[in-house]
Amino acid sequence: MSDSREKTMRLTRIALLIAMNCISAYLIIPLPFSQSPIALQTLVVNLVAFLLPPKDAAITMLAYIGIGLIGVPVFTGGTAGPGKMFGPTGGYIWAYVAAVFLMSWFKGKDYSFRRYALVAVVIGIPVIYLGGVLQLKGVTGMPWEAAIMSGVVPFIPLDIVKSLCAAALARPLLALGLKGTQG
């Protein structure tokens, strides 16, 4: 594949995954006891890590954050701006950058459902929760226990399911040629 064609494919993969992430942020279920809703977004964040090399995965999430910071309503539930990113739930979004980089790094070069699922559950979910809870506590001043009970515990079961779904979806998407080169 020519260098020009590879660059075009790389940018296309990044753009498609940014768009998928933007759309997934609108698919939410608000929870009355939490500032964070249930969102489809974690599934797409996992796909970003599974389909792209580490650098491209991080670029994808940084571009997504940049789009939201300038005011395009792409954050959870159609929100945007610095108020969201520096508010109680912005830490989850910031953590996407580290999570996708680390998951992509540890996923390996060849597809393996077990490995992808393990990386998502053992690395991705904890990194996202850590960033989220740190900012939730920092911004609201709530006690650690309350931050964990409202910002982590209710989401664990479904986030595991979304991680498993993303690991399963990665195989056919990689087979379609959506895989970026490692690097």
What whole-number percentage of the chain has pLDDT above 70? 96
pLDDT tens-digit readout, 64-105: 999 999 999 999 889 999 999 999 999 999 999 999 999 999
pLDDT tens-digit readout, 135-177: 999 999 999 999 999 999 999 999 999 999 999 999 999 988 7
- Its domain, for residue 13, covers 3-178
Per the structure, the count of domains in the chain is 1
Does residue 183 lie in a domain region?
A: no
Does residue 20 lie in a domain region?
A: yes
Give me the pLDDT at residue 29, please: 82
Report pTM: 0.90
The CA–CA distances, whole Å, from 18 to 45, 63, 122, 154 equal: 9, 7, 24, 26
* Beta strand spans in the chain (E): 28-29, 38-39
Q: Which residues are within 8 A (CB) of 42 and not within 5 positions of it... i.e. 6 or more apart?
A: 125, 128, 159, 162, 163
Measured between alpha carbons, how far is 119 from 125 in angstroms, rounded to an integer? 9
| DSSP bridge partners of 38 | 29
- CATH at residue 94: 1.10.1760.20
Is 168 within 8 Å of 3 (Cβ atoms)?
Answer: no
The one-letter amino acid at 108: G
Q: Any idea what DSSP says for residue 182? A: P
> Residue 96, Cβ neighbours under 10 Å: how many?
28
Does residue 126 lie in a domain region?
A: yes
Whether the per-residue pLDDT at 38 is higher than 90: the answer is no
Does residue 36 lie in a domain region?
A: yes
